[in-house]
A and B are shown apart, each in its own frame.
Chain A
Amino acid sequence: MGLLTNLRDSVSRVTDRLFASDDPKRIGIYGPPNAGKTTLANRIARDWTGDAIGPESHVPHETRRARRKEGVDIERNGRSVTIDIVDTPGVATKVDYKEFLDHDIEKDDAIRRSREATEGVAEAMHWLREDVDGVIYVLDSTTDPFTQVNTMLIGIIESRDLPVLIFANKIDLDEADIKRVADAFPQHETVPLSALEGDNMDEVYDKIAEYFG
């Protein structure tokens, strides 16, 4: 890409954000499969609109299409911020239908799910490049955050100069290790929470308002 094109894109990104500051921000919820993205999206949507976004499941790739909840008003400290939540499929570099067979899913259904999952991941990547204004990156704090997918995704988000919050989810579980998540990405703020149990949601909403408001 040429120097002028890069400069034009950079200036365009900055001016777009400056002049669109009153519009609701589209906040993408990203992360690997089974990190609890949909549970978090549902928690936020239920807390502020009363509606859920999509079904939650322990089966990987349950979310196979990006789902959007528009106009979520979050009130913090006497002011209100409006965001559109985009719950995205978990990002992976491989999808093998045989993994679904371990969850008592028939082969035909497993193949269909894997096909939908691959389309969903491709769609999520496209959203990240084109259509989100900020990112909540959700990690399962009971698992090793130091994976290639996480490193690549955070690198992609940083390269686009998008504001990002790291959410260390599942702190209600004994194996949770918040420090390990914080140490993996020290350049970003890490917020611990349990989307399932609703633990530490006050701080979650404070940070969403601070970063994306």
Chain B
Amino acid sequence: MPEATPSDSTTESQNGVQIDLISGSRMEGLRSMEKIRLILDGVRDGNIVILEEGLSPDEESKLIEVTMTEISPDEFSGIEIESYPHEEAADQSFLDRLMGRESTKKLTVIGPANQIETLHKDDQLISALVSRK
């Protein structure tokens, strides 16, 4: 059976806001650009994408870069992204850092910039207002 994609279930989204909660294990098997494509395709459809385990710093950098290339007047103005603060590497060994094994497990919320507004954020709570298109 083919693996379901978040966009398979968008038929009802005209009446509300679709939220895709993507597990860490789902993202683990994807290449960086596949992750970015998955996120941006969802966001450009007006969905709110919630990643259980977030992206690595390098992937975040590429997400910003690709987002910039896709911004288009009156169509797509970019993304709003929020995650809990990066837990500093207190629990990471020097070897982990040397090998690039960065801890990236941080719940991350991403949505279209014109539909999601962060109301409050601290190290334990992200509160966001989501509107329809």
Indicate if A200 sits at the interface (CB-CB under 8 A). Answer: no
B-chain residues with CB within 8 Å of residue A155 when the two chains form the complex: 57, 60, 86
B-chain residues with CB within 8 Å of residue A96 when the two chains form the complex: 77-78, 113-114
Establish whether residues B98 and A10, one from each chain, have CB atoms under 8 Å apart when the complex forms.
yes
Indicate if A196 sits at the interface (CB-CB under 8 A). Answer: no
Establish whether residues B79 and A93, one from each chain, have CB atoms under 8 Å apart when the complex forms.
yes
Residue from the list A7, A93, A111, A158 in contact with B81, Cβ < 8 A: A93
30 contacts between A and B (CB under 8 A): A3-B99, A92-B78, A93-B64, A93-B79, A94-B71, A94-B80, A94-B113, A96-B114, A114-B71, A115-B73, A119-B69, A121-B65, A122-B65, A122-B68, A125-B61, A125-B64, A129-B58, A148-B83, A148-B118, A148-B121, A151-B85, A151-B86, A152-B60, A152-B81, A154-B86, A156-B60, A158-B57, A159-B58, A159-B102, A187-B88
A 148-181 to B, binary, CB cutoff 8 A, 1 in contact else 0: 1001101110111000000000000000000000
Main secondary structure of the interface of B (DSSP, over half): mixed
Indicate if B82 sits at the interface (CB-CB under 8 A). Answer: yes
4 cross-chain pairs, A with B, having the tightest CB-CB distances, nearest first:
A94-B78, A94-B113, A159-B57, A6-B100
Q: How many residues on the B side are at the interface (Cβ–Cβ under 8 A)?
A: 32
CA distance A120 to B102 in the complex (A): 28
Q: For chains A and B in complex, what number of residue pairs have CB atoms within 8 angstroms?
A: 91
Establish whether residues B65 and A125, one from each chain, have CB atoms under 8 Å apart when the complex forms.
yes
Residue from the list A111, A115, A148, A159 in contact with B82, Cβ < 8 A: A148
Establish whether residues B64 and A7, one from each chain, have CB atoms under 8 Å apart when the complex forms.
no
A-chain residues with CB within 8 Å of residue B58 when the two chains form the complex: 129, 156, 159
Instruction: Enumerate chain A interface residues (CB-CB to B < 8 A).
Output: 1, 3, 6-7, 9-10, 91-97, 111, 114-115, 118-119, 121-122, 125-126, 128-129, 146, 148, 151-152, 154-156, 158-160, 187
A-chain residues with CB within 8 Å of residue B99 when the two chains form the complex: 3, 6-7, 10
Instruction: Enumerate chain B interface residues (CB-CB to A < 8 A).
Output: 56-58, 60-62, 64-65, 67-69, 71, 73, 77-83, 85-86, 88, 98-102, 113-114, 118, 121
CA distance A94 to B72 in the complex (A): 11
B-chain residues with CB within 8 Å of residue A125 when the two chains form the complex: 61-62, 64-65, 68
CA distance A7 to B98 in the complex (A): 7
A-chain residues with CB within 8 Å of residue B98 when the two chains form the complex: 7, 10
Establish whether residues A97 and B67, one from each chain, have CB atoms under 8 Å apart when the complex forms.
no
Residue from the list B64, B73, B80 in contact with A111, Cβ < 8 A: B73
Given the known interface contacts A1-B100, A3-B99, A155-B86, the answer about A94 and B56 at a Cβ–Cβ threshold of 8 Å is no
B-chain residues with CB within 8 Å of residue A159 when the two chains form the complex: 56-58, 100, 102
Establish whether residues A152 and B57, one from each chain, have CB atoms under 8 Å apart when the complex forms.
yes
Given the known interface contacts A3-B99, A148-B83, A155-B60, the answer about A93 and B67 at a Cβ–Cβ threshold of 8 Å is yes
- Closest CB in chain A relative to B60 CB, distance in Å: 5
- Closest CB in chain A relative to B4 CB, distance in Å: 28
